[in-house]
Amino acid sequence: MEPEQIAELRTMYIFTPPHGQSWGLTYEGLEALLRERNPDEFIRVDDGADGPVSGSSMHFGITLDEEQLEGMALLSPEGVSVKDCTAQSAAGFVLWLRNTAVPAGMAVMFNTEWGLEVGLPATPVPDAARPRIAAAFIEHLVETGDLD
């Protein structure tokens, strides 16, 4: 598969604090940051009481570069994900997340749905500009294999 084709592949990207650390993520705090960007953004918090999965989750929409993305946040295990996303869109999202929701100086780890399926460990998001982050995400997609 050509690099341009890999760059257009869509999967879920998962962003978490380093193992054993916390961003201090709260649904209220994340909702406030999302509403600050766009007061009309879709946000729903499920308490986990009504269904087969225990624990709470937050589902939200976020528009970046005129593309509507769907995301989810969990407090335990702590993390935020965006679904059906290209490497470039995921890079834009993680820059927003790092600049607004993650405490200054704290690392952001990432994986993808495909990476989890093949057992790849979470990897630090490069402390770089969007093109370098997107390149790291594309490298990760190649590492998941089976892209021929």
Predicted confidence pLDDT, tens digits, the chain (148 residues): 888 899 999 999 999 999 999 999 999 999 999 999 999 889 999 876 555 455 689 999 999 988 999 999 999 999 999 999 999 999 999 999 999 999 999 999 999 999 999 999 999 999 999 999 999 999 999 999 877 6
Closest CA to 77 of 116, 11, 22, 28: 22
First to last CA, the chain: 5
Torsion sign across C-alpha atoms 124, 86, 63, 79: negative
Global confidence as pTM = 0.92
Do residues 13 and 112 touch, judged by C-beta distance below 8 A?
A: yes
Each domain of the chain, given as residue ranges in start order, spans 3-143
Which of 141, 145, 146, 133 is CA-nearest to residue 4?
Answer: 141
Closest-CA residue to 7 (of 88, 84, 81): 88
